[in-house]
Amino acid sequence: MPNLPDPVHTALMVQQRNELVHMLSAFKLDSSTHDIVNLVEVLSTMWCDPSRAKDSCFGDKIIDVRLEKRMLQRDEEGNKINETAWTMCQIIQMGSNYDDPRAVVPADQFELVVADDDGENKRMVNLKELTAQAKEFFPSEGFEEPKLEVDKVAVAFRVAFVPLPSADSGWEAEIRYVAYGYNTDRQEDPANVILFADTMNTSAFQEQPGCQVGFQSFYSKLTTTNDPETGATDAPLKTRCFATAVEATDREFEDIGTEKVSMSAAAAADGKGTQVRTGPICIPPSSSSAWHIAIGIAKEEPAPVYRSGLGGFSSNAAPPQYTNLSANADDDQPPPEFRSLSGGNEDQGFDPTVQAAMARSGGKAVFVAGKEGRIGLGTFVEDAKPLPKKSPVATSGPAIATCINIMTVPMGTVPDKKTLLEACKFIKARHKQTVKLGTDVASRHSDASVEAGLSTTAPLSKRTLDCLEKTIGSDAVKGLAKRNISKGRPLISGMPVA
């Protein structure tokens, strides 16, 4: 059975989105708040493209990225006994996906947490050094002669409000990034290297074909002899993937960066994330920052085997059909029917006080102040897959670094007006601080974006059209070949349907 979204948490995110969009619309009409919220959008999917064609939403390195959350329960011995499915979270960002404003800064002014393969010996390193010495920093990945050094990185900040279960309910929450790769059509020839980086560590991945696997998941990697299934400490040495745990702190937006050293030390001693500055060196530290960093890499040029020309397919088999979830990544469609893995909707971590408030209000939204999250190492998910390309070569453009600051609200509640305004201020302040290190690119369709290497004026290549045909279908590609201008791109599942 597929791991489909849980209906309870899907309903919570639909409610959150509706209320946030309603508040933003009202703020934009109010002269006292217009400047604070102007350009801010609520989206379910981010476009984190290392390279895009100017005046188009397509290109040769395009990626859709989402944040997902699930919950789990453990028994008295710490064994996982129950879990919900992963559910998409809503994202607050400055600017639309089409424009995607970013600050382009030197890679040596952008720092991340790294650690040894076993998670020990944590230290800070800048992105330029990390990518230049990828073989040394990621020894378990089996790199041979990687040439991934980047000189620039295009930075953007987002905020997500993740509903958390009551601390007394026995449920815990985890998050992960997932991404859909449009321009990778073969496992052995990825279009991008992806770094997942949080306050605990940085892990390396290579993009998988969206047309084959759908959305690819990103986790924290650890190489260890501990068997997460049995608890044995003498299991064969393996690199394993772990989700990202999240819990609430008592800090609101204005308090981010104020955690005392003693509190961070206590969190570290408990195996949790600490307050640390990741990203541009000019921003304050946080306990809730998680980064998706995409580095475009050169692709091989094999003889085309999938199709011949812009029309028709070279094989006699019909092309795969794809499920189209949305005509535009900025739009949400009514959710389909989902199944729950949790065995019931009444026992999913709701705080009784929240349920009582909902009952008193007649089922209307309950508004609360959002609190900064603390992220750390979550539960085991799967064994790490070997990276197929052992000597990847980075292309000349900047890396694309997107940070989601994880804020939390109790399950069943919605961020209040003050919290939403503070979120808008936070995103814009982080952008303004980062721009001081480099260049402000207000739109991916500006001359500044072309000059920075984020966009290109060149037409889409045949290789790019080949990849996109596998992803979005031949009819859509024919339209692209005729007119390379589009305000939206299809958000698809990527899994062929019978």
pLDDT digits (tens, 9 = 90+) for 36-94: 999 999 999 999 999 999 988 899 999 999 999 999 998 887 778 888 889 899 999 99
Helix axes 7-29, 417-435, angle to 10 degrees: 80
SS (H, E, C) 381-399: EEECCCCCCCCCEECCCCE
Note whether 253 and 419 are within 8 A (CB). Answer: yes
Report the C-alpha gap between 160 and 292 in whole angstroms: 14
Can you give the pLDDT at residue 340? 29
Predicted confidence (pLDDT) at residue 296 exceeds the cutoff of 90: yes
240, two tokens: 């394993």
Alpha carbon 302 to chain centroid, angstroms: 30
* Sign for the pseudo-dihedral over CA of 117, 122, 123, 128: positive
pLDDT digits (tens, 9 = 90+) for 218-236: 999 999 888 877 777 888 8
Can you give the pLDDT at residue 280? 98
Mean local confidence (pLDDT), 256-282: 90
Mean local confidence (pLDDT), 418-428: 98
Q: What percent of the chain has pLDDT over 70?
A: 81
Note whether 172 and 74 are within 8 A (CB). Answer: yes
Report the C-alpha gap between 366 and 358 in whole angstroms: 6
Can you give the pLDDT at residue 490? 60
Which runs of E-coded beta strand occur in 127-286? 152-164, 171-181, 192-197, 202-206, 216-218, 220-224, 238-248, 279-280
Predicted confidence (pLDDT) at residue 307 exceeds the cutoff of 60: no
Predicted confidence (pLDDT) at residue 343 exceeds the cutoff of 60: no
Question: pLDDT band for position 14 (50/70/90)?
Answer: confident
Residue identified by tokens 């104020």 is 258
Query: DSSP alpha helices (H): ranges in 444-491?
Result: 447-452, 462-472, 474-482
Predicted confidence (pLDDT) at residue 451 exceeds the cutoff of 80: yes
Report the C-alpha gap between 38 and 34 in whole angstroms: 6
Mean pLDDT of all residues belonging to the chain: 84
Report the C-alpha gap between 399 and 105 in whole angstroms: 10
Can you give the pLDDT at residue 472? 81
Question: pLDDT band for position 353 (50/70/90)?
Answer: low
SS3 state of residue 47: strand
Residue identified by tokens 């799967």 is 382
Can you give the pLDDT at residue 363? 67
Total-model pTM: 0.86
pLDDT digits (tens, 9 = 90+) for 121-153: 999 999 999 999 999 999 999 999 999 999 999
